Amino acid sequence: MIRPIPWHGLPSEPIKAALPALRWQTENDVPPSAGIAALMLYVALNFVARKAMADDGEDGVVAEATYPELSEMTDLSRSLIANGLKRLAALNLITFSGSAQKRRYWITGPHTPWFKLPCQAIIVKDGAVGPFKTFTLRSKHELHALKLYLYLATCRDNKAKFSMVSYETIHARTGISERDIRRAISLLISSGLLENVDREFSNTLKVNEANKYYLTGSHALLSRAAVTGSVTA
């Protein structure tokens, strides 16, 4: 189950490559909701992942969880879990090994560079990712919100609690249209994944600066106390 430590380390490059490819559309007979489920499952799998040796003798990062456990962590139905895992595999974010009864999910690398994703602050008493319980999986805006959430985590400066990025850059890196970004931000705030957004004006440059985004749990991101499945802080 989820280890509720302050943060976990996730590989940067695979998720950055996958985000623009996630669109609100049916693909290979898998409904659009699979994209939302996929990102929820990706977070949950990384929260339970640990270092392990793969069958080929290479070091890797693996998560072991049954469908009921994944459902407890994400509040997803069995069918949504199945579709979400299919989408993750198609995006080359995970690979599978083992039997259906004891499935192992390998987190695709490279595992460096990596980024910190807050964990403890968004986990509720039953060991689930609390904000995921607010998602209905019926809207493209929820997919945009999760894409934005993970992108903001990847682009944070390691010396800062916040991510600072413009709408133009968000669009270029995630494929979210600029007119939809504000709605995605609102959903992240209402769900509890995003704590605050600072909109600042530079008196020196006399222009609006890029927003500063504080993920829920951002206060712990400068800590070196967490040990994760993929990295040791």
DSSP string across 70-101? HHHHH---HHHHHHHHHHHHHTTSEEEEE-SS
* Residue-wise pLDDT tens digits, 93-136: 999 988 766 789 999 999 999 999 999 999 998 899 999 999 99
**Which range, of 50-64, 198-212, 215-229, averages the lowest pLDDT?**
198-212
Band of residue 49 on the pLDDT scale cut at 50, 70, 90: very high
User: Any bridge partners for residue 96, and if so which?
Assistant: 105
**pLDDT value of residue 58:** 74
* Residue-wise pLDDT tens digits, 171-210: 999 999 999 999 999 999 999 999 999 987 544 444 467 9
Higher-pLDDT residue of 28, 22 = 22
**pLDDT value of residue 205:** 43
Residue 226 resides in a domain: no
Q: Are 94 and 45 in contact (CB under 8 A)?
A: yes
**What is d(CA 177, CA 168) in angstroms, rounded to the nearest whole number?**
9
**pLDDT value of residue 233:** 33
**pLDDT value of residue 3:** 85
**What is d(CA 23, CA 33) in angstroms, rounded to the nearest whole number?**
10
Residue 145 resides in a domain: yes
Please count the other Cβ atoms lying within 10 Å of the Cβ belonging to residue 86: 17
Give the residue from 104, 113, 101 showing the smallest Cα distance to 85. Answer: 104
Question: The CATH number of the domain where 183 resides is what?
Answer: 1.10.10.10
Structurally, the chain folds into a number of domains equal to 1
Residue 1 resides in a domain: no
Residue 2 resides in a domain: no
Residue 229 resides in a domain: no
Residue 231 resides in a domain: no
Residue 122 resides in a domain: yes
CA triple 17-51-70, angle to 5 deg: 70
**pLDDT value of residue 227:** 47
**What is d(CA 56, CA 164) in angstroms, rounded to the nearest whole number?**
40
Residue 230 resides in a domain: no
CA 12 → CA 16, 87, 108, 186, distances in Å? 6, 18, 10, 25
**What is d(CA 63, CA 85) in angstroms, rounded to the nearest whole number?**
13
Structural domain harbouring 156: 7-220
